Chains A and B, each alone.
Chain A
Amino acid sequence: MHIPDGYLSPATCGAMYVVSAPFWYVAVQRVRKVLTHRTVPAMALFSAFIFILMMFNVPLPGGTTGHAVGGTLVAIVLGPWAAVLSISVVLAIQAVLFGDGGLTSLGANCFNMAVVLPVVGYFIYRVISGNSDVNSTRRLVGAIVGSYLGIIAASLVTGLELGIQPLLFHTADGTPLYAPYGLNVAIPAMTIGHLVIAGPVEAIVTGLVFFYLQKSHSALLSREASQKSEGKLWFVWAGALVVLAFATPLGLLASDTAWGEWGAVELKKALGYIPQGMTALSNLWHAPLPDYSVQGMGDVVGYIISALVGIAVIGFLLWLLGRWISRKNEIKKNRSSMGGSAG
């Protein structure tokens, strides 16, 4: 998922640095507040650990192997802000020392893997685990599902960044200047690979580590750093998601042409270029909320509303899943305690 230099236009790279900057700023402030003077050694050692974790070659069922990112795991152990900071540090070192990911695209890579991945993963983990016990199966399921969806979300954002390149940056005859594939190719190419290989690797590694942490080091899972923000967490992340939902159409606005013009002129050019993909995609976007396929500003509003509805639906489904697991656990517990008293 590390985007190298040359794939994204300088404008996109700059924009992604700007998008990541507030997350870095808040992360530094938050971490410093919790850890005070301990910040430097604690973050450094944990970042070094993440670096090693990313190097581990994980055998997958079926014979292939892969590498994990571990973003959700870090967010669970250290809290989401510390995860943003430490994964960014690792990505910077990987880019500089190993050429893994570019220097200009570092902002984009950090947003995908150090912001979207741990934030989405951690949010889902919290929603599923609710107020359950640290050692419960419900938490383990939360960690596994969270890490899987976290990396899928990150790959989706990566695909989006790569996919808008040929739409926005091409020569007069339609030759793409940067990453050559449109959204119709870039998004499936990124997400399918992650659904099938990288996602399972991430889920397996997170699940295994979480399981052993529960067994032998459960103190690490209930530390103050992540506990402290628990009360406000719902509001913080719900707020962040709403802001992100509102920012979705803005992201398209910010790149060179205005939204309306982009729809009319650029789309025509693009239609000559990838006709099926564009129509398929626009159908995909408008189908759930057909009333909002009005022209101009209506699109923007529709965009925001569909984003909010989507978030609400996913949130509700995850909450149901969490409830269901805890119900099952309770029944199991009741049964075993009844069995114990009977015996």
Chain B
Amino acid sequence: MIDTTQDTRKIVYISLLVAMSVVLHTLEQMIPLPSPWIKFGISNIATLLALVLLGFKEAIIVTLLRVLIGSILFGTFLSPTFMLSLMGGVSSAIVMGVFYKFFPRYFSLIGISLFGAYAHTTVVIILVYYFIIHHKELFYLLPVFLFFSAVTGIINGIIANKLVMKVIEEKVLGLNLLQKDYY
């Protein structure tokens, strides 16, 4: 019985995080930015929350569902944009998962988010280079993109830190769902 309640809770939390992620993803598309190449990546906050509160597998699930639902909403399903979003999202989730698992005491979510943002940007640029724009000049722009992704990554990390603190203080989640070596 306890196991089924736990499973149901987990599914509910995953759905909530996916919903939050999709909404943030949608909002992000509406914010006007000087360059179309720069995105805030705020939907990554949901992935971070899933990683810390639920686990690595759940973080990947949240990312996959966010990319899938987001692409269906915007009509970009299976388009190059979707592929970039998918590969970038999954690779950043994997990198964040690895850093969270192996260096939990060295970095808070700010560092983890920064690594995720860098992974996302780098993977997307490499894919764009190999599949769309075959010009080495593209890599001259990499420092610019990495700089902006560092800034947004740090901001997302700060927000995620605060949210995780709040979730623990308010005891929203059953604490047994939390990773053991957290804090």
Instruction: Answer yes or no: do A and B interact.
Output: no
Give the A-binding residues of B (Cβ under 8 A): none
